[in-house]
Amino acid sequence: MMRICTRKCCVNEEDIGAEKGKQIIEETRGFIFPAFALILNVCDFLPVLKWFRYKGYDEFRHKKESLSVSKSSTSRNSDTLVETLLSLQESEPEFYTNDLIKNVLLTLTSLSTKYGPVMYLRLGCRNLLIVTSPSAVEECFTKNDIIFANRPQTMTADKYSFNYKAVVWAPYGYHWRALRRLMVIEIFSFNSLQKSSALRSEEIRILIRGLFKVNCNRSGSSGVKINLSNWVFTFSFNVMMRIGTGKRCVSEEEIGTEKGKEIIEEIKGFFFATLLVLNVCDFLPVLKWFGYKGIEKRMVSAHKKRNEFLNSLFDEFRQKKVSPISVSESSTDGNREKKGTLVETLLSLQESEPEFYTDDLIKSVVLILFIAGTETTSMTIQWAMRLLLAHPEAFHKLRAEIDSKVGNERLLNESDFTNLPYLQCVINETLRLYPPVPLLLPHYSLEDCTIGGYDVPKHTILMVNAWAIHRDPEVWEEPEKFKPERFEGMEGEKEGFNYKFVSFGMGRRACPGAAMGLRTVSLVLGSLIQWFDWENVEFEENLDACYNTRITLNKEKPLEAICIPRQNCIRFLDQL
Ligand code: HEM
Ligand SMILES: *[C@@H]1O[C@H](CO)[C@@H](O)[C@H](O)[C@H]1NC(C)=O
Ligand SMILES: *[C@@H]1O[C@H](CO)[C@@H](O)[C@H](O)[C@H]1NC(C)=O
Ligand SMILES: *[C@@H]1O[C@H](CO)[C@@H](O)[C@H](O)[C@H]1NC(C)=O
Ligand SMILES: *[C@@H]1O[C@H](CO)[C@@H](O)[C@H](O)[C@H]1NC(C)=O
């Protein structure tokens, strides 16, 4: 049925039972199958099944139907990981437990403890290489980096990538290089980051002021329970909107209110719900509402809405109807930067080079900014807060650092970061334990090569299990523990701390937004701690379980916490 070809073994067909396996398949079919299929369709990045290509998807769907109709026929041709795992469960039920099969990360991680850090799977006609060790990662992204610099074609990408023009999905080549260079210059270069730093500063002032106001309106100083997920996501999205278009999507008055939540939910609905690009999906709830076959329709409709949103944005710019919020409106040099939002820059480039800067290309750039930049950043902030709430020693150490290096007479800003090494350690430790993109994005090889001594044929999809590397006891001491100190004095080491820390990926296709992401996370986290005391309301014993819900069955729990302005900061906050 499947071959797991590794150091030792290929699973024999005889080992794979039929009757009981089918029973389990029947049992879980309505539940796991579609779920897994959905992951792959909805968010390309789970290395599981038939995520590849629309055609494959149709075949799969067809197969699934025939499976449920003719119970007697043995499905001899399982080319989904779930089917395969369910069959393996037959022979080794203690290893392949139901819980394991339901959780993609655990599944892949357990498989690699069993079969080694370089694992090659054949699922149907697709080849899949899963690597789980720093040395294998190094091999993939140094000497074989160009070979793996492609992305596989997927159904999601078919629908969303603007014909593979978007940078995330674009094949390695001239177009991708030109686009990536453009994005680096306009968004990610040091100069662009310095420029957008003013926007972030303004938005952070609004965030802190908003959190303080919510408190003022309540009598007593016992604090207010707030939905931190919502505040942080709104912040991230507003920052990206302003970089892209000069506008906010949720106004200051609306942040944290019902209205503000509605706006965010709507935007999430068409930007994110069907495509949590950089995250493992919370697929099941979606599935229940729309059913397996509704997915494609839903993707099409989301894409349409998104397109409309972007079109109307462009129209506004073209008709010069927009008056972007200028940076530092309130300050004296407010008029200096009237122009200079990303969309304006791109539209003016379009005038001189219309063949390259097509509307679709510009849309894809703006879209990627929203999709790749907001969810990852806000997830990281939330996880850092969760960890700090669960580890008061670290919280107090970080606060002491901020109090002594920045104080409570002014807002923390991006020039302070070099003086806040512990803040950077906390963030890296958060990214180690809870990487927002635990399997990175899939890569695709165009030539044969060897990895870890194995021949890997061309047209293989490469997945990097960053989550497993980050928690490997051979790689990290006490990997399950939250110890920001472990990053102290490690700056000198080679790339990715010798390929042990790969939250942003490696090589040519690594995340170009890493520096921006780190700045944003540092700014928000530092400021939240500079001005407020926080109380936990979750009392979640096991944070891992909470993280894993993202990839198993539950909708992610939003982070809620009680926010109390620090006593000695109230005067400052009042004047903010
Ligand atoms: C904490 C924040 C972030 C994390 C953890 C993160 C992580 C990642 C990862 C793992 C990849 C895939 C690398 C690979 O294929 O091997 C990626 C790609 C990418 N990220 Fe990020 N990212 C973050 C923030 C951002 C931000 C803020 C932006 C932009 C505004 C961004 C834009 C991109 C783009 C455009 C790609 C695709 C690159 C390509 O295919 O050439 N990311 N990111
Ligand atoms: C706080 O109270 C003021 C006046 O009482 C009101 O105008 C404002 O909308 C309230 N703000 C929030 C965030 O509830
Ligand atoms: C918190 O905010 C998030 C993001 O906007 C939203 O999905 C969630 O429903 C909110 N939760 C509560 C309890 O308000
Ligand atoms: C940060 O704040 C300090 C002190 O107020 C100031 O000197 C510096 O210019 C600020 N940096 C930025 C990037 O705003
Ligand atoms: C944190 O990780 C980033 C990205 O890998 C790295 O550039 C930085 O040096 C790290 N900082 C610390 C303090 O470890």
| pLDDT tens-digit readout, 131-178 | 999 999 999 999 999 999 998 765 555 556 666 677 777 889 898 999
Say yes or no: CB of residue 413 within 6 Å of ligand 4: yes
Global confidence as pTM: 0.81
Tell which one of 405, 409, 415 to mutate to probe ligand 4, the residue whose CB is within 8 A of the most ligand atoms: 415
Say yes or no: CB of residue 167 within 6 Å of ligand 1: yes
φ and ψ at residue 249, rounded to 5 degrees: -100, -25
Which sign, positive or negative, has the C-alpha torsion 43, 231, 362, 313? Answer: positive
Q: Of all residues in the chain, what percent carry a pLDDT higher than 90?
A: 36
Residue nearest to atom 18 of ligand 1 (CA): 511
Q: In what order do the strands lie in the sheet with 460-464?
A: 3-5, 118-123, 126-131, 460-464, 443-444
Say yes or no: CB of residue 558 within 6 Å of ligand 3: yes
Say yes or no: CB of residue 264 within 6 Å of ligand 3: yes
- Ligand 2 centre and the CA of 216: distance in Å? 8
Q: Which two tokens stand for residue 475?
A: 């790689």
366 in Cβ contact with 354 (< 8 Å) = no
439 in Cβ contact with 466 (< 8 Å) = yes
305 in Cβ contact with 401 (< 8 Å) = no
Ligand nearest the Cα atom of residue 406: 4
Q: Which two tokens stand for residue 380?
A: 């990281």
- Ligand 5 centre and the CA of 399: distance in Å? 20
- Ligand 4 centre and the CA of 415: distance in Å? 6
Residue 119 CA neighbour count, 13 Å, CB half: 23
Say yes or no: CB of residue 419 within 6 Å of ligand 4: no
- pLDDT value at residue 14: 34
Say yes or no: CB of residue 168 within 6 Å of ligand 1: yes
Ligand 1 atom closest to the Cα of residue 170 is: 40
Say yes or no: CB of residue 223 within 6 Å of ligand 1: no
- In whole angstroms, give the CA distance from residue 283 to residue 303: 18
Q: What is the three-class DSSP state of 465?
A: coil
Say yes or no: CB of residue 189 within 6 Å of ligand 3: no
| pLDDT tens-digit readout, 297-344 | 666 777 788 788 888 888 888 877 555 555 544 433 333 344 578 988
Task: Extract the residue ranges of the chain whose pLDDT is less than 50.
Answer: 1-79, 273-293, 328-338, 549-555
Closest C-alpha among 497, 552, 524, 536 to residue 203: 524
Helices (runs of H) and strands (runs of E) counted in the chain? 22, 10
- pLDDT value at residue 548: 58
- pLDDT value at residue 102: 61
The secondary structure element, H or E, covering residue 56 is: helix 54-69
Ligand 2 atom closest to the Cα of residue 214 is: 13
| pLDDT tens-digit readout, 18-72 | 343 333 333 322 222 222 222 333 233 333 322 322 223 333 333 333 222 222 2
- Ligand 5 centre and the CA of 108: distance in Å? 27
- In whole angstroms, give the CA distance from residue 402 to residue 423: 8
Q: What is the DSSP letter of 493?
A: S
Say yes or no: CB of residue 244 within 6 Å of ligand 1: no
- pLDDT value at residue 284: 27
Rounded (10°) angle between helices 359-390 and 342-352 = 160
Q: What is the three-class DSSP state of 560?
A: strand
Ligand 1 atom closest to the Cα of residue 369 is: 30
- pLDDT value at residue 336: 39
Instruction: Give the gyration radius of the chain's Cα atoms.
Output: 24
Rounded (10°) angle between helices 514-531 and 421-433 = 110
Q: Is 511 annotated as a binding residue?
A: yes
- In whole angstroms, give the CA distance from residue 529 to residue 400: 10
Ligand nearest the Cα atom of residue 444: 1
Say yes or no: CB of residue 165 within 6 Å of ligand 2: no
- pLDDT value at residue 223: 84
Q: Identify residue 207 by its one-letter amino acid code.
A: L
Say yes or no: CB of residue 197 within 6 Å of ligand 4: yes
Ligand 5: residues whose CB is within 6 Å? 421, 424-425, 428, 487, 490-491, 496, 501
430 in Cβ contact with 486 (< 8 Å) = no
Ligand 4 atom closest to the Cα of residue 414 is: 13
- In whole angstroms, give the CA distance from residue 517 to residue 519: 5
For residue 226, what are the β-bridge partners? 561
Over the range 185-218, which residues count as b (16 or more CB within 10 Å of their CB) and which as e?
Answer: ebbbeeebeebbbbbbbbbbebbbbbbbbbbeee
183 in Cβ contact with 512 (< 8 Å) = yes
